[in-house]
């Protein structure tokens, strides 16, 4: 990401601002956008965990939030979900009805 703008630091200061600024660059479908929007806290917690891991390893925590976001594969995360969680249509093709004959 280019840091030509003097306002780039705002993306680090407000994590939500940084997070939602990255979503449009992935050309997400409406369902993917909903998934990404609902999972902000999970992704932010993973970022905090990565910072904590650096500290536990005796390193200076230098992972920037925007760098972490640029490495987050939103579309891969979404496609790894089950079809039911992705909201993809009729679940009967994955779980057909059982017919009982008497």
Rounded to a whole number of angstroms, the distance between the first and last alpha carbons of the chain is 66
pLDDT score for 91: 55
- Residue 1 or residue 30, greater confidence: 30
Whole-structure pTM value: 0.71
HSE of 60, CA atoms in CB hemisphere, 13 A:
1
Is the pLDDT at 41 greater than 90? The verdict is yes
Contact 91, 83 (CB under 8 A): yes
**Percentage above 90 pLDDT, the chain:** 25
Longest CA span, the chain: 75
Q: Is 14 helix (H, G, I), strand (E, B) or coil?
A: coil
pLDDT score for 1: 47
Residue with tokens 């997400």: 28
Distance CA 78, CA 38 (A): 12
Residue with tokens 């956008």: 33
């Amino acid at each position: 990401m280019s840091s030509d703008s003097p306002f780039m630091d705002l993306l680090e200061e407000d994590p939500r601002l940084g997070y939602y600024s990255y979503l449009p660059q992935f050309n997400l479908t409406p369902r993917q956008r909903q998934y990404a929007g609902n999972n902000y806290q999970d992704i932010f917690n993973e970022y905090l965990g990565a910072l904590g891991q650096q500290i536990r390893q005796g390193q200076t925590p230098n992972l920037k939030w925007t760098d972490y976001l640029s490495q987050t594969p939103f579309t891969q995360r979404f496609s790894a979900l089950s079809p039911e969680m992705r909201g993809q249509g009729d679940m009967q093709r994955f779980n057909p009805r059982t017919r009982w004959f008497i």
